[in-house]
Amino acid sequence: MHVATPCQLHDHVAQFYEDEATLADRVASFLTAGVSAGERLLMLLTPPRRRAVLARLEAWGLDTAAAEASGQLVVRDAESLLEAIMDGDMPDEARFNRHVLAEVESAGAQPTRAFGELVDVLCARGQSRAAVYLESLWHAACRRLPLTLLCGYALEHFREPEGHDAFAAVCDHHSRVLPAGEFCGLAPHDQLREVTRLQREVAHLRQELAERQGVEQTLTAVQGLCSEMLGELAEQARHDDLTGLTTRQYAQQRLAELLAEAGEGSGRIAVLHIDIDQLKAINDSLGLETGDDFLRQTAQRIRHCLADSEVVSRLGSDEMMAVLAGVAEPDAVVARVERLIARVSEPVEVEGQTIAAGCCVGISLSPDHGRTVAELMRSANLARRHAQSLGRRRHHLFSAELIGDEPDRLALRTALSEALPRGELALYFRPRLGARSGQVVAVSAQPRWYSARFGVMEPEQWMAAIEEANQVEAIGQWVLDGACEHAQAWIEAGVELRVAVQITSADLLGGAFVERVAAALASSGLPGTMLELELTESALMQAPVRAEATLVRLKALGVHLTVDEFGSGRSILGHLGRFPVDTIKFSGAFVDGCLENAHHQAIIRSVVMMAHQLGISVTAGGVATRAQADYLREQGCDGLEGPLWSRMEYRGNAVGEAAER
């Protein structure tokens, strides 16, 4: 008796054969194993095959008549069934379900083990297209129903060239394929050699699989460690060390989330800009330690005046911000602010001294006074300034008349809208060094504004205002075009340096950004491989599906992609596999503490190891000292950049007369 290859429930197995006796043995063995497992048997056979298989089942101990009578064995004629399910030259799915799968479904939860010749009959007729479609129906049924299926195929149907495609399609539609016992295209003296080669290849693949599984386990452990450490670091970073309140960045993020979630009937969102009175005077007269203690107590008073779910954050030295959701009417928030001012105005005891306290509060409401984070914070700040002008312990609700109190802001936007036409912008290129070689391997393009009115301004001083001035795309394109032109000029001069350009979330998620990059490359003649685009974690995670699609299109241009400020926003550790990035760049916060902060050191080591296992290089940004550079090099960082090499900064293009002044 032939021992069949063990099968599991839902297996769909193809058995090729050269002679009828071998097939009958293997089918009978397959069905006998089903009897032992308590499964129901279904045979869809032509008359000659039916007699051969039933004879072997009887010889191996199965009372086939009793099995048929009890319903354990169901035998159907393959030719008749095939005629019932065909619609012209192709099988019909509804008829297949009604005439064939009904036998399987009638058994309920009891597993069925079946052998069928329907597809083999179609192959014998030369109907390969119908045979392949019927196999797809069987394959879907095996996945859906408690069914294990063995299909027999005579190799003679596939020997001619026109049968090769059908052979491949049949193999694709089975979960397992069993070869014919004596079938091999090689000469007898070469068969053993080929078997040996295949065995060696299988052993090699098994070893490779084991190694990959080990790497995946290590990577999973590293990801877990990094996620835990980054979570702890993020929790620390979101709180102000002195007051214990959350930071400005957290307040802005939470406000943005509330604005995005706001809907009809959800009430207004209030932003409070709070300024503590006389902190500078307390610091000057009583010392910084006393001033810090006073500020700490005052901050906690403000915190206790609001609900736990409401955000209170420190903006700066003596300024704080609160975000309140679900405000019904302006009068309701004004009443709460008055109670807050009264509580903060109570005397504070610090080191045996009684200090008179107080604060001024500016209030803005969404959507009345703004629909974005920047608009609401600006409105609350203007209201706070007006409250201070009225005296101590005052509050004020924003009104449109206050806009006239901020001429510099309006002038800044106006000047920015004219910066490009006036030629007031210049490109500067900051070097990135290979950590091992110490050679410049890339440069980062940075715009600088030489304003006739405001003087020389770095990007961080005016980037927030270019959105209000509607200049994001224009200035971004100017930087991109200029960077590509300079890089191409360097190549023509015999110096090949990749140029990096920072892009905003608006660029990344905008509809035409890939086309703009392609146009800049085409116009300058720069190869895509010599352009690097730097994007932040926050930009990637703002809309990850859309971001992934954009990055895939950029990679098709050959562009190098870098995640900038890694670790400063919502972590993409769990998504690195989906984004086709080439480099991650540590934020300055990690580099600042890399020599003394054990958490930072552990994260740097783990992230570098994980990134290298994924084929991603690591750059450290914000490197300010030689000791930091040496440490980061030892940890395996591939690139270094920062203030340490500021003397190597290169000014790329001339600007207008205002810049010269």
Are residues 110 and 23 located together in one domain of the fold?
yes
Q: Break the chain down into helix, strand, coil percent, rounded to 5.
A: 55, 20, 25
Coil, strand, or helix at residue 580?
coil
Are residues 415 and 357 located together in one domain of the fold?
no
Q: 119 lies in a domain?
A: yes
Last residue of one domain, picked from the residues 361, 376, 405: 405
Q: What is the CATH number of the domain that holds 424?
A: 3.20.20.450
- Contact of 489 with 496, CB cutoff 8 Å: no
Q: What is the pLDDT of residue 431?
A: 92
Are residues 316 and 460 located together in one domain of the fold?
no
Q: 99 lies in a domain?
A: yes
Q: 6 lies in a domain?
A: no
Distance of CA 588 to the CA centre of its chain: 22
Coil, strand, or helix at residue 74?
strand
Extract the tokens encoding 13. Answer: 């197995």
Are residues 290 and 398 located together in one domain of the fold?
yes
Q: What is the pLDDT of residue 341?
A: 92
Instruction: Give CA–CA dist 413/408, Å, rounded.
Output: 9
Extract the tokens encoding 287. Answer: 């010392």
Distance of CA 511 to the CA centre of its chain: 19
Are residues 233 and 295 located together in one domain of the fold?
no
Instruction: Give CA–CA dist 500/514, Å, rounded.
Output: 16
Q: 2 lies in a domain?
A: no
Are residues 133 and 169 located together in one domain of the fold?
yes
Instruction: Give CA–CA dist 141/100, Å, rounded.
Output: 10
Q: 71 lies in a domain?
A: yes
Q: 3 lies in a domain?
A: no
For the chain, the domain total comes to 4
Give the Å distances, CA to CA, from 586 to 535, 589, 607, 638: 12, 8, 9, 11
* CB burial string 570-581: b at 16+ within 10 A, e below: ebbbebbeebeb
Taking phi over 0 as left and psi of -120 to 50 as alpha, with beta for the rest, 307 belongs to beta
Residue labelled with tokens 């504004």: 449
Last residue of one domain, picked from the residues 237, 254, 271: 237
Are residues 313 and 334 located together in one domain of the fold?
yes
Q: What is the pLDDT of residue 656?
A: 36
C-alpha angle with apex 385: 380 to 391, nearest 5 degrees?
125
Are residues 394 and 465 located together in one domain of the fold?
no
Are residues 47 and 117 located together in one domain of the fold?
yes
Please give the model's pTM, rounded to 2 decimal places: 0.44
Instruction: Give CA–CA dist 484/517, Å, rounded.
Output: 10
Q: What is the pLDDT of residue 1?
A: 42
Residue 269: give the domain boundaries.
Answer: 246-405
Last residue of one domain, picked from the residues 372, 405, 438: 405
Are residues 264 and 383 located together in one domain of the fold?
yes
Q: 380 lies in a domain?
A: yes
Instruction: Give CA–CA dist 275/295, Å, rounded.
Output: 11
Are residues 646 and 545 located together in one domain of the fold?
yes
Q: What is the CATH number of the domain that holds 18?
A: 3.40.50.300
Q: 30 lies in a domain?
A: yes
Counting as low any pLDDT under 50, the low residues of the chain are 1-3, 182-183, 405-407, 569-570, 654-661
Are residues 59 and 129 located together in one domain of the fold?
yes
Instruction: Give CA–CA dist 551/555, Å, rounded.
Output: 6
Q: What is the CATH number of the domain that holds 328?
A: 3.30.70.270
